[in-house]
Structure 1
Amino acid sequence: MTAGPGALLVIGSGLKVYREYLVAPIRRRAREAGLDMVLLNNLKPTWQREYFDEIIVANVFDSEAMGAAAREVAGRRRIVGLMCWDEPLVLDAGLLAAEFGVPGLSVPGVRGCRDKELTRAQLTAAGLYQPGFELTTTAAGARAAAERIGYPVVIKPRAMGASIGVVFAADEAEVDAAFRIALAASEVDPGPYRASALVEGYAPGPEISVDGAVHKGEYLPMFVARKHSSDQPYFEEVGHLVDAADPLLEDRELMRTLARAHQALGIEDGITHSEVRLTDRGPLIIEINGRLGGDLIPFLGRTATGIEPGEVLFDVATGRWPDTGHTRRAVAGIRFGYPAQDCVLRSVTVPTRAPGLVAAAPMAEPGTTLRLPPGGYLARHSFVVCEADDTRTCLDRLATAAALVQLDTEPAGPPEPNAPFAMPAGLLDVDE
């Protein structure tokens, strides 16, 4: 048995602007508990040095390389918890947590979260309302599946996030193009679910997300985010709004559905980000992600409710009961800036002052080519975060702050024909 202080193993740090607010309280709790923090990351450390006792650079997007690096750490340190909030890494991280015998989603749980086809199958088997669905690897298969399911349909990669490659098809004439887009996006995924797409029936209704903790199989909701998306067919996420007093937190049918879904997937310990459509047949779970929400949704949750997501994550990752009680009652929202058309970014300037402004930052460097779907995704040049006492005021403040963003661009030429799908610029940390 290895001696010395216990260690938290974190796989993938994410961008400073997106994840430092999580890492800082985790580090504080680790110090209080006498634990070291070890990071496996794909790039050389910069801001991470302030928070981690050891940083190992390894290709975490290669399953074998990640596993070898993690096992080397476990061979000389006593791992007491493992954390990961980067979608492409969640599966391997969850399997390693089970291997090391530390709290985690569980092997069935992490597979059920990561594989959208398996999610659908298990939730359907559990008697939860789900759309018709079929997995396919060919355009002909997509056409046949859509005919059986009935139009309209949504075609999506089997395992991706952030609505990348998710396309609406109203009829047969739109299926082939939608399938090509979804399949191209799926081929970027490094895991076992690449190069396949899911065809499923479209269910209309507002979309929300719910971040919740799971401790020993018990689901504990933290906050609800109302999602603002672009028009069909691409479902680009343009903003989110979290209200600490959202009545959906008291909606028994929604919370019962979420708890049953987590139980059906076998999720044991961790934080999940569930996406749900509110349909005329009741809540329909679109997917359950085995990680914290992206798009700064946990930051909005902290601002609105006072819940510290980093502390909750520390607790569930180390086997402790988490505190998910609200200590604030406010509304917080985020608005992402998108260009009107494909462009090359020359400069972007965000406001430093605006009513209720909490944070604002550029999201792309000068010289970045921003492409809208289907040529690209998440073509965001900036974001603004505002808070208020009520929803209407918060939305007004977001509009005001977003209008203060100054953008200088030049037109971008058309993408190369048959160019492979590339992950959006600005989603990964840069080398020192």
Structure 2
Amino acid sequence: MPDIKPLDADEGSPVTIAVLETINFGLEYLVDAARERGHELILLTGDRSRYTHELSKGLVDSLRIVGVDTGRVDEVVSVLRAVPDLAGVVRMADPWSLQALAVADQLGLPHENTEAVSLLRDKGRLRRHLYDNGFSRAPSIVFDPQTATVTELTRQLAFPCIVKDVAGSLSQNVWLVRRPEELASVLVAAQHAKDLYGGALTAEPYFLGPMYSAETVSWAGETKVIGVSSRGLSPEPYFREELATFPVVLPEKARSELAEWISGILFSVGYHEGVTHTEFIITTAGFEIVEINTRMGGALVGESINRSLGINFHSAFIDLALGRRPLVMDLEPEVRQGVTQIAIYAPRIGVFERIGGAEQLLDHPGAPTLYPIHRPGDVIPATTDQRGVLAMLLADGETAELSLHNALSAAGKLVVQMR
């Protein structure tokens, strides 16, 4: 049975919905969705500066912002108990995912299946589940980098393989291990990593093929694929995410098979209600999962979908928080345009000063727009993963292909200055 409990308030009664942190961009769409339903939004955050760009649009007058340590469930619950008409908690960002579920549970509010979310967030458990249930042709091996030995792992692993944090994000702590002799350096790197969130590593098969991501929404065991994005990665051995284009038009047979495959996986783990961002590879032998995130894709994935399809995909989180079937599941929007996002990375570590050349974007085709992530003066500690992203550039086009060329051309006009 699903964990979601329906809202008791009358359909038209205004209520308050709490957002326990969210991704950098898209807060405006959440506010719009709540407002369209006659409800008010509260943003609970431990760092208001994360939403500087979104709040610069005038959203301060459209929602309440409460400063709280969002990593502490007891503090969040205490704050929300003082909200008399609270009806739901929006869960969007990975680092606060389990906290949001715990808060909703303690307050008796609608929420997704906690065990299913925990399983999907654990890359090692997920790979084992996929293999055991016939959704993947290869399993994984989970190990503790502090105690594992090269000799032991060499006997267990097939090479090449991908080694990564079981609970990682932002493309951090991901290593391509082509040969056994490369294991030693990976173990040393993992042992000294300060941001190994899961505390363990998983060694997974190295699947060959292009990577894509699918955005889905589910209700009562029914899953709908909203759309698919292409993914552009950096040259190996790093897997730095550099661009994404929406939508990918798959052949009808492949599209149907993909929808059935993802639906089957989500149903098998008990994730019957919720949104997912599923990264997968199309190999010569079929689909293979990279990871399944129980949220919308990060950066500007939501923005791309909304512009391309003319919908508010963020509204699904408002409906789910209220324990209702997301309205976007019943829409059949036509593609209005293609949209591409490109990550603007720092060329080296150091102090970020500015991005020059933005003035050339004003008359550029595709209406390219910069979405800042870092501010001048920020220290950039790495360039091989998403910690090095300074800003996102978004451009559109009549088709996905044209939007890609517009975005690539616009990004080429920009010059990053570091010191």
Shorter-chain TM-score range: 0.7 to 0.9
Amino acid at match of 1:382: A
Match of 2:332, SS state, is: coil
2:208 corresponds to which of 204, 228, 233: 204
Q: 2: CA distance between counterparts of 1:373 and 1:363?
A: 14
Alignment check: 8 A CA contact 1:95 1:110 kept = no
Does 1:57 find its partner at 2:67? yes
Match of 1:383 in 2: 392
Structure 1 contact 150–201 (Cα < 8 Å) conserved? yes
- Is contact 1:135-1:198 (8 Å) kept? yes
Query: 1:166, 1:274 → 2: CA distance?
Result: 18
Residue type matched to 1:320 in 2? R
CA–CA separation in structure 1 for the residues paired with 2:14 and 2:232:
45
Confirm or deny that 1:314 pairs with 2:318: yes
SS of match in other structure, 1:336? strand
Decide which of 399, 403, 408 is 1:399's aligned counterpart: 408
Question: In the alignment, what sits opposite 1:176?
Answer: 184
Deviation of 1:398 (Å): 1.4
> What is the alpha-carbon root mean square deviation over aligned residues?
2.7
Equivalence map 1:14-163=2 (5 Å) = 14-15=23-24, 18-19=25-26, 23-44=27-48, 47=55, 49-52=60-63, 54-61=64-71, 65-74=72-81, 76-138=83-145, 141=148, 143=150, 144-163=152-171
SS of 1:90 mapped into structure 2 = helix
Q: Note closer, same or farther for the CA distance 1:146–1:243 as it changes in structure 2 (3 Å cut).
A: farther
* Letter paired with 1:160: G
Structure 1: tracts of 5 or more residues without a match: 411-432
Structure 1 residues 408 and 24: CA distance shift in structure 2, 3 A? closer
- Decide whether aligned partners of structure 1 residues 367 and 39 sit closer, same or farther in structure 2, where only a CA change above 3 A counts: closer
Instruction: Write out per-residue CA displacement over residues 152-180 of structure 1, whole angstroms, 9 at most, x where no aligned residue.
Output: 11111111212111111101121222234
Would you say the 8 A contact 1:307–1:326 is kept in 2? Answer: yes
Q: Which sits farther off after the overlay, 293-302 or 354-363?
A: 354-363
Instruction: Specify every segment of 5 or more residues in structure 2 that has no aligned partner in the other structure, as ranges.
Output: 1-7
- CA deviation profile, 1:397-426 (whole Å, cap 9, x unmatched): 11210011132223xxxxxxxxxxxxxxxx
Q: In the aligned structure 1, how far is the partner of 2:251 from the partner of 2:106?
A: 40
| 2:104–2:111 CA contact under 8 A, matched in 1 | yes
Q: Is the 8 A contact 1:244 1:329 kept in 2?
A: no
CA distance in 1, matches of 2:44, 2:381: 31
TM-score (norm 1): 0.83
Change (3 A) 1:72 1:345: closer
Aligned residue pairs, count = 396
Residue in structure 2 matched with residue 346 of structure 1 by the alignment: 353
Which residue of 2 is the match for residue 253 of structure 1?
Answer: 257
CA offset digits 1:61-113 (Å, max 9, x no partner): 3xxx2333225413643432221221111122123334444333211221122
Tell me how far 1:358 sits from its aligned partner: 4.1
CA distance in 2: counterparts of 1:273 and 1:347, whole angstroms: 31
CA deviation after TM superposition for structure 1 residue 381, in Å: 2.6
Instruction: Give the Cα separation in 1 of the matches to 2:326 and 2:380.
Output: 43
**Kept in 1: contact 2:368–2:407 (CA 8 A):** no
User: Measured at CA, do residues 183 and 10 of structure 1 come closer, stay the same or move farther in structure 2, by a change above 3 Å?
Assistant: farther
**C-alpha distance in 2, partners of 1:70/1:238?**
38
| % same residue | 20
- Structure 1 position 360 matched with structure 2 position 370: yes
| Alignment partner, residue 242 of structure 1 | 246
Pick closer, same or farther for the CA change 1:373–1:400 going to 2, 3 Å: closer
3-state DSSP of counterpart to 2:371: strand
With the length of structure 2 as denominator, give the TM-score of the two structures: 0.85
Distance in 2, Cα, partners of 1:360 & 1:141: 44
Task: For residues 228-247 of structure 1, give each alpha carbon's deviation from its aligned partner in whole angstroms, at most 9, with x where no partner exists.
Answer: 00111220000101126444
User: Match of 2:129, SS?
Assistant: helix
